[in-house]
Structure 1
């Protein structure tokens, strides 16, 4: 989110957005460090590698691992968006049905009260 987009929201929303961005950054850095650690362990199991080869292998491993992480997160985010759409659609349908039922009950109640008033005259 850009600074211009942040100004359009209330301070509470801006704070939440900033917190989410910071959390995302920290999670990405944690995943990056984890990938580097795994690459270091892998290179440690291959003692014949030169320093340059180990650095090259580490670089490629980290790039591949971060790409896989991005893909997995994207799949999860896409699924969450689909579920959100499905839940919102279902919620709107249930809300509309409930509103119709309440309107019908209110009409019946009004009709019953009107009938009772007419009969009592």
Structure 2
């Protein structure tokens, strides 16, 4: 659904920049969480050497970020699908409402014309 108002180019750039910054911060927080989880995982594996622990942590972070990216893309895709579904349903409801209003207005006009004709006939 569009609001019918065109955004100012400068406002559009600001909104885009804010969305990009929000995306960066979200990705960064997911990456930090993956690092913490990897550190906790490696801390429980006391038999790992430092190099092995670093490799496990790197691999875990890599896999976790791929999973997160996949889940976010799936969420965005589903949100787009829902947006399209709701948009089409909104348009259908809007057209139905317009038809009903037009029918009611026609009925009111017909009644008014009939009442006017009847009043004219009685006035004679």
Q: TM-score range by the shorter chain?
A: 0.7 to 0.9
User: Structure 1 residue 109 and structure 2 residue 100: aligned?
Assistant: no
Q: Aligned runs of 1:1-121 on 2, under 5 Å?
A: 10-121=9-120
Q: What is the number of equivalent residue pairs in this alignment?
A: 114
Q: Deviations over 1:48-69 (max 9, x none)?
A: 2222211111111000000111
Q: Which has the higher contact order (CA 8 A, sep 6+)?
A: 2
TM-score (norm 1): 0.86
RMSD: 1.5
Shift of 1:119: 2.0
5+ residue gaps, structure 2: 1-6
Q: Deviations over 1:96-119 (max 9, x none)?
A: 100000000011111111222222
Task: Report the Cα distance in structure 2 between the residues aligned to 1:23 and 1:91, rounded to whole angstroms.
Answer: 29
Q: Which 4+ runs in 1 deviate beyond 6 A?
A: none
Task: Report the Cα distance in structure 2 between the residues aligned to 1:24 and 1:114, rounded to whole angstroms.
Answer: 62
TM-score (norm 2): 0.84
5+ residue gaps, structure 1: 1-7
Shift of 1:9: 5.7
